[in-house]
């Protein structure tokens, strides 16, 4: 049996990733809205090997608090 990791422990790690449901609960929106934000480029998503989206906690918290996030420069 694997040890239980609380959400607090998981999100304190540098580079922590959040699920669409976790992001949705922070903004009080539906998880589908979070997916639409990612598709529109308002929020960057990382895809897992299974194809699920995960979001950077730092970016989400910055967006939540109105802090603009720098975008990667395109070459």
Mean pLDDT of the chain, nearest integer: 82
- Where are the domains positioned within the chain? 16-64
Phi, psi of 71 (to 5 degrees): -95, 150
pLDDT, residue 69, reads: 63
CATH code of the domain made up of 16-64:
1.10.1660.10
Whether the pLDDT of residue 46 is over 80: the answer is yes
Whole-structure pTM value: 0.70
Closest Cα partner for 35 from 51, 50, 13, 49? Answer: 51
- What is the average pLDDT across 16-42? 96
User: Which tens digits make up the pLDDT trace of 55-71?
Assistant: 999 999 999 988 766 65
């Amino acid at each position: 049996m694997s040890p239980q990791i609380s959400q607090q422990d998981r999100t304190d790690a540098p580079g922590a990733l959040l699920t669409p449901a976790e992001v949705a609960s922070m903004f009080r929106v539906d998880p589908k809205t979070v997916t639409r934000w990612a598709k529109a480029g308002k929020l960057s998503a990382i895809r897992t090997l299974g194809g699920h989206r995960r979001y950077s906690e730092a970016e989400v918290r910055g967006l939540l608090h109105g802090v603009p996030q720098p975008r990667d420069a395109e070459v």
